[in-house]
Every structure is written in structure tokens, then in C-alpha cells.
Amino acid sequence: MRFDRLNIALLAVALLGLLSGLALLLAGRPDLSALVWTAGVLPVLAALVVEILRGLWKSEVGLDVVAALSMSAALLFGEALAAAVVALMYSGGAFLESFAQGRARREMRDLLSRVPRTATRHQGGALEEVALEAINPDDLLLIRQGDVAPVDGTVESDRAVLDQAALTGESMPVRVDRGQEVMSGSTNAGGAFDLRVTRAAADSTYAGIVRLVEAAQASKAPMARLADRYSLLFLAVTVALATGAWWFTGDPIRAVAVLVVATPCPLILAVPVALVAGLSRAAHFGVLIKGAKPLEALARIKTLILDKTGTLTDGRPQIVAIETHGDLSRDEVLHYAAALDQASKHPIAQAIVAAARANGAALPVPMNVVETPGEGVTGTVGGREVAVGGASFVAAQAGTSVPDSSVIAAGSVVVSLAVDRKLMGHIIMADALRAGTADLLAGVRRLGITRILLATGDRRAVAEAVTAGLGLDAVRSDLTPDQKVLLVLTERKNGPVMMVGDGVNDAPALAAADIGVAMGARGAAASAEAADVVLLVDHLDRLLPGIEIAQKSRRIALQSVAAGIGLSIIGMIAAASGYLTPVQGALLQEAIDVAVILNALRALRIAPETGAAPNPDSTHPGAIATSTDIDQTQASRCGPFFGETQRNQP
């Protein structure tokens, strides 16, 4: 804020000096007008010299040196009006930079401002308002209509309607049923609901997003560093051209005109404005890029390496088929299995319960429950003896052999059900491939990525079953974390590499890649920390708008640089040839400044053509498929999960 006030003050001084001097000139007092112009220039020149000295202290030579030379030379050779125009141009450019970057960060600032400070908690039959720091896992919160969820949790009411636009860019609210996850930062767009806290505020999704946004805002664009790196060359060319014009013509005013036209505000301002605007735009589509350097690198990716579980697949068990072997229907098989599984905390059991509830089933309370860890559960449901678990466990309870199943694929999990000691059916569960994956990979190739690989620690048969028909360039299975790192390093020979993953075991590979992308909504904290890009929701297709925005932002930045340099060089040649006076050169450079910065701001209006509006109903991370909405043939694309697995089944 202090620097914003300084920029405003310097702009006011320069503008007042220029206008006052012009007024005195029109009044017939050219002597006083020159003094007033000089008085308006000196504060701006002094501030500029301080910035240059600070850069030299850090061993940085920036393009501000040319601006300082142009003002100093103009004052030295009596061109006070030209110096005043340059001072106004430079102070106006600094103010415009502050304004433009503030505009570009508006969406990020809105994200930060939405952080709730308190929450309403159920306590002893009453409601109390508490600070976020006082909220602990397993607390029960009341989220009223219009409230922002302050922490991550699960829905304890029948359902909730959430607006996740601030996190994901999805314009339509999504419905979240009982037991499904809610990301902190989501706005309650429906009636009040209860939220069971699963993470403390400091560990929740929104808090992590805020920390990542703050880190992204503090970054400096690598293209800006590139401009600084070559500033000595630009400075040398400028000084040589100015000196040559003076040497061959004997007119120092031509040298002043060259220096004035060479003032490099477009290079100083346009690149960071375009890239920061790109960061903001990507965040609008649920892609958090941790700075300008990753944004630029993302635009140049040639190889994509994907993890499987939780990335290419959903990462949770889903029902892909229900088989019956008795007089119960499919719905009844699911009903009895879910009723008994209410007593188990096993992920498979919880997925079955959630699927039954999603179908609207009213589940009775099981009685006489006995759980055999790793094998199954027995108990009484509605007066009938029920056993649920692995096929061998249930077959032993029913006194039968394990029958074959026609839909079991590599990596799928069989949950068997026996009622009154008779085998009644199987529930086939798997880690299903994410919807729209084939379209996603085709879109990625259209954006210029030439190689796509799968890197997984799973067995070869499972990896091949998941990726059948996807057209990947290679499948690497049975990999340890260090082998994933080696794969990333090996693939660099084909160009910059992007690695996408969600687990702790993916963190080393994410850090080793040119761009690491983490599935941020449910991924491990280690992967989010190691990654350069975090997808704020578990939709892999968010990669498409992220890459497209990065490419277009970089293209806009390069356009601004090329236009600024090209126009400046033309103006410098014209000034050296005597076609531009210092005042005319200063006005020309002012017009160049405005043009290239306005061009850089176009990054705020980038409209991705691919993957910008996924269907929240089909891809929401809380969705759990059931036997009624998944065709059995989808079992051919499955991944491993807990419990018994079937290998290489036809």
C-alpha cells in the first residue's frame, strides 16, 4: 500500500509539473515553465535512481537505467519539456502497473476475502458461534443458507446444495447427499444443513488454497527475469545508437531523442501483467498455478505422465455390477449388504452403504454384529442371518463353493452376500476410470502434448485393463516412487514433462517434473506441496483450460514484448535520423506503453475452448455409482482395491 501511495504521489507531481509548465509557456513565461518542468521531473528521477541502486545492490541491472538516462540527458541539454513527458510516462507506467496487476489479481483477492472467520457449532443441544481456531475434527456445524463452509467435512443432513464456483468455476450448484464430502470454501446455495468436520481449519482445502494463492502472488515471471538478463544488451544498443547519432551529426538533441524513445516501459510492465492475468484466469477455472514460472512452463509441455489410482481413476470403490444367485433382486442384495455394512468402517463397506443411501434405501439397524478384520461381517438384519465380505469368507458361512462371475476384470473386488446361510449374490466393485478420460487425452494432444504415459505401482494386468483403448504411448507398471522419478527424468529427452498425481508416493515425481500437477480436492498434502499446479476439484479435465490459458497468456506476453521492442527500435532509428524531436519521441513512447499494456490485459478475457465447463452431475467427486446407472461392461476398466481381487479373468 505504501508503494501504491508513492506511485500516486509521483504521478501527481509529474502531471502537475507538466500542466503547470505548459500553462506558463502559454502565458509567455518560458523561463519559469522550464523551472517548473524540472521541479516536476526531479522527484520522479530521484525515486527511479533509488530503485536502480537497490537493483545494483542485489546485482540486478534493470531496464530502468534507460529511463533514468533519458530524463537526465533531457535536463542536461535543456529539453525540460521532453524530460517532463518522460517523467509523466514513467510515473504513469508505474501507476498503471499497480492498477493492472490489481485488476488481474481481483479474482484471487475475492478468493482470499471469502475466508470465513467464525462458524456455528452444535454444542449441548444449543448453537454457539465459535472462531475457526476452536473447530476440531468430528464437531458438528450448522451451515446456513448463504454461508461459506469454513472447513472440510461430510454432510450429516439428507442433502446439501453447494455453489462451488469460487473454487471450480462451475456455474451450476451441485447436490451433495448424506455422507458425501464438502470442500471448505463452498457456498451453501440451498437450505441449512449440518456438516461433520473432518479436518481442522488450518488443514482444510480452502486454507491450503489461500496459502498457495499467496505464494503465487509473490512470484516473479521468468520472462521478466529474461528481460532483466538482456537489459545490458538493450542498454548497450541504446547508448551506442544515441552516441552514434550525436557523433555523426554533432547534434546532442538527437541522442536525447533516441534515449527518450528507448524508455522500456513496455518490457518492464507488459510481461508480468499478462502472466499475472493468466494466473487469475486459470484460478477462475479451478486451476491454481503457483506462480508465473509454472504458468510459462505449463505452456511448453510436450510429455504428460499420469498416475492411475485417484488420478486417471476416481480413487474410490464404486459398484459396477450386482449379480444375484438366489431369490433376491439386485436392489435387495444391495439393501441387505448395506444394512449390515453400516457396522463396519472398511472403505468398501462405507461405499456400499453410500450407494444404497443414494438409491433412497432406508437401512435398518443391524444386530449381533461380528466383524472379522480383513474378511467380512456377520449379523442379523430384520431377523435374518446375513454375512457380507470376501467371496471365500461368505462361501464358508454359507457352506458352498465360490461360483465364477462373468463380469469380474483384473483389479475388481468381489463382495459376496449370504442370507440365512444361502449365497444370494455378489457386488462387483472397482476403481472406475474417470468419465470423459478419452476425450480429455484427445484434447491434451490437440494442445500440443505429443507423448502421454501411465505410471503406476499397480500390476501390469490392472494397468492394461484400465487403459485399454485410450491410445497411450506407453504404460509403466509396478513402479516404486523412485522409479517414477527416473521415468520423469528419462522422458525429458522428448521435451518438458508434466506429471499428474495425487498420492504421497507421487510427490517425488511431481517435484522432479518440469510441471507437477496435484489433484487438490482429495489428494495428499505432500503431493499438493510438491506440485506446481493444483486442481481445486478432482476433475482431471481441468488440465485442458489450464494448459490453454497458459499457452494464450504466454503468447500474449510475447506479442507485447515483440510489439514494444519493434516499435521502440523503429522510433529510435527515426529519432537518430532526425525525424523525431525529444518531445515527439516521448509522446510516441507513451502511446507504445498504453498499447502493449492494454494488449497484455487481454489475458483476463481468455475463454478456453476445451474443458471449461464439465458437467458437475456426472463428474462431481462425491458421486458413487450404483448397479442401476453403470453398465456392467464398464467393469473392463477397473483398478485394484481392498479385499479379494481377481486376476486376469476373461
Q: Three-class SS string for 97-145?
A: HHHHHHHHCHHHHHHHHCCCCEEEEEECCEEEEEEHHHCCCCCEEEECC
**DSSP state at residue 455:** E
Cα–Cα distance for residue pair 357/340, rounded to 1 Å: 13
> Cα separation of 189 and 175, whole Å?
10
Burial of 216 (0-12, 13-18, 19+ CB in 10 A): buried
Catalytic annotation, pick one of 152, 163, 307, 502: 307
Alpha helices, H only, 324-436: 330-341, 347-358, 391-398
Residue type, 594: V
Residue of 370, 393, 338 lying closest to 626 (CA atoms): 338
Which amino acid appears at position 517 of this protein? V
- 506: which residues sit within 8 A by CB, 6+ positions away? 307, 311, 481, 484, 499, 518, 524, 527
The backbone region for 443, taken as left when phi is positive above 0, alpha when psi lies in -120 to 50, beta otherwise, is alpha
Cβ–Cβ < 8 Å for 99, 161: no
Total residue count of the chain as it appears in this document: 650
In the annotation, is 307 catalytic? yes
**Where are any strands of DSSP class E within 382-421?**
384-389, 413-419
Cα separation of 289 and 280, whole Å? 9
Q: Is 239 helix (H, G, I), strand (E, B) or coil?
A: helix
Give the C-alpha separation, 144 to 194, whole Å.
Answer: 9
| CB atoms near residue 178 (< 10 Å) | 16
Residue 406 and residue 419 in contact, taking contact as beta carbons nearer than 8 Å:
no
Q: How far apart are the first and last CA of the chain?
A: 67
Residues noted as catalytic: 307
